[in-house]
Each structure stands twice: as C-alpha cells, then as structure tokens.
C-alpha cells in the first residue's frame, strides 16, 4: 500500500493537510509530520534567514533528519518506504524538494504546491534511479518566489530525471481548489488504485 507523506506550510501542523488527503482516495496510508523548527512560535521544517532566504545548512540537516524518521516509522508501522508520495505545501513542499535532491531514490512521487528550490548555494548532483513523477504547482503571482527561480528549479528537477507535470496557478502563494483538483487527477493517473 502506498503512503502519503503530508508536509504542512509555515505555521501549520500535522493536522493541516489531513482534510485534503481524503480527496486522493482511500488506497493510501497517511503519515502527517509536524516540522520541528519554530519561527516566532510557528512550526517549520527548517530555518530561514529571511523571507525566501533559507538556512541551507539547516535544510540539509533537517532533510537527513526527515529521511531517517521516515525509515524508522516505516519499519515500526510496516509500510514500504519505497511507496511514499510526498504532498507538501510551501515550506512542506520545500523540505520535500530537499528529499528529491538529497535522496533521489527515496520518494515514489511528490506533489509540490508553491515550491521554492531548497538548496541554491551548493546544489547537490542528483539523478533519480527510477522514473519518479512530480506535480509542480507554482503560483503565477506568488510574491515569495521570482518566476526565474521557479523556472530554474523546475528545469533542475527535470534534468535530475524527475517527470514533472507543471500546473502553474493564476494566483499568489495561497492554495486553491484548482491546485487540489489538479493534484488529485495527477495522483489518479500516476498512482492508480490497486
């Protein structure tokens, strides 16, 4: 059975994306994680130095920490770690991106809502060992990320072997019904029910 790894945005918690998980169908385990970094009382998955400027050493550390946690929970709960599909929004999409870059064989797929490239200063060389579909949904009017940076990130993931489905939304950083509908259709096409 496949597992959805739910990764919330800044200030959210492990309950935030649970209502959305049901839309993907009942053929999934659900593992929802709370970021363990605090910024002004708001949970995040890694530190940032300013708006849109990430503490990349912390991104690397927290990505390794998350990968280790996933392995431990998979062993405890008896689910296949090779069948995990990350579903992340904003900061959650960015830590999922850390997994895609630092652990290219770990995830079976990923939904990235409003992603930013998590590692820019020292970009690791990566290549997926198998086909891995990724739903990449940027906001066309997102004030937190420059369009050129979005283009570069999408190109980087594609160069690394990820099979990108790009669906830019005519909105800002907020999540819309169209984002959910598009991701659900993508999930059904790439991970059909058994």
pLDDT bin (cut points 50, 70, 90) of residue 23 is very high
The pTM is what? 0.96
Rounded to the nearest 5 percent, the helix, strand and coil shares of the chain are 35, 25, 40
What is the domain range of residue 46? 2-190
Each residue of 27-49: pLDDT tens digit? Answer: 899 999 999 999 989 999 999 98
Q: What is the CATH number of the domain that holds 181?
A: 3.40.50.1820
Quote the percentage of the chain above a pLDDT of 90. 89
Please list the active-site residues: 90, 142, 173
State residue 53's pLDDT score: 83
Each residue of 39-82: pLDDT tens digit? Answer: 989 999 999 988 778 999 999 999 999 999 999 999 999 999 89
Each residue of 11-21: pLDDT tens digit? Answer: 999 999 999 99
Each residue of 1-10: pLDDT tens digit? Answer: 899 999 999 9
Q: Vertex 94, ends 93 and 95: CA angle to 5°?
A: 95
DSSP-based three-state secondary structure for 43: strand
C-alpha span between 119 and 64 (Å, rounded): 13
- Please give the tally of structural domains in the chain: 1
Each residue of 95-135: pLDDT tens digit? Answer: 999 999 999 999 999 999 999 999 999 999 999 999 999 99
């Amino acid at each position: 059975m496949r597992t959805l790894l739910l990764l919330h945005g800044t200030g959210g918690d492990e309950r935030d994306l649970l209502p959305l998980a049901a839309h993907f169908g009942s053929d999934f385990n659900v593992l929802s994680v709370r970021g363990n970094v605090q910024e002004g009382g708001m949970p995040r998955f890694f530190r940032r130095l300013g708006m849109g400027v990430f503490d990349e050493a912390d991104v690397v550390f927290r990505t390794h920490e998350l990968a280790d946690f996933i392995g431990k929970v998979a062993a405890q709960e008896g689910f296949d770690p090779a069948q995990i599909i990350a579903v992340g929004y904003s900061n959650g999409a960015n830590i999922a991106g850390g997994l895609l870059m630092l652990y290219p064989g770990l995830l079976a797929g990923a939904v990235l809502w409003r992603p930013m490239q998590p590692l820019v200063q020292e970009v690791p060389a990566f290549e997926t060992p198998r086909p891995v579909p990724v739903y990449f949904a940027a906001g066309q009017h997102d004030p937190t990320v420059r369009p050129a940076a979005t283009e570069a990130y999408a190109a980087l993931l594609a160069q690394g072997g990820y099979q990108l489905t790009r669906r830019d939304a005519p909105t800002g950083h907020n999540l819309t019904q169209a984002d959910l509908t598009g991701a659900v259709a993508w999930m059904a096409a790439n991970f059909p029910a058994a």
